[in-house]
Amino acid sequence: MADESIDEHFVELVSSVSHANGVFRVVLGQQIDAGTARPVMRLLIPASQLQAVLRGIADGANEIREKLQSQAAEKEGGKGDDAGAKKAAEKKPTAKK
């Protein structure tokens, strides 16, 4: 399994999205010139899995953003501690009456 490789493609934008026969087709592309894009690959996602795939990408991006913010706050010598405490307080659920 270590010998297997995964194709990698550099993409900058979503060129198009279509749906047919229960499958979303997402064409990803690279920007060539202002307003011009070149298709790079087509991603096929079963409609039943679209929400989970999008949520997985969003969750991963949010996790990376939070780590980067935490690292930046540490580099600033703790200047971001107040913001982090405020954010943690906002996440606490409130009791319903």
Query: How many structural domains does the chain have?
Result: 1
Residue pLDDT, tens place only, 68-88: 999 999 988 855 455 555 555
The residues that bridge with 16 in the sheet, in sequence order, are: 27
Q: Is residue 91 part of a domain?
A: no
Tell me the residue range of the domain where 62 lies.
13-77
Determine the pLDDT at residue 97. Answer: 44
Alpha carbon dihedral 55, 4, 38, 18, in 10-degree steps, equals -40
Helix (H) or strand (E) holding 26: strand 23-33
**Residue 60 phi, psi (nearest 5):** -65, -45
The Cα–Cα gap between 47 and 17 comes to 12
pLDDT of the chain, 97 residues: tens digit per residue: 567 899 999 999 999 999 999 999 999 999 998 888 999 999 999 999 999 999 999 999 999 999 999 999 998 885 545 555 555 555 545 555 4
Q: Is residue 62 part of a domain?
A: yes
Q: Is residue 64 part of a domain?
A: yes
Q: Tokens 């405490």 sit at which residue?
A: 85
pTM of the model: 0.65
Determine the pLDDT at residue 13. Answer: 94
Q: Is residue 82 part of a domain?
A: no
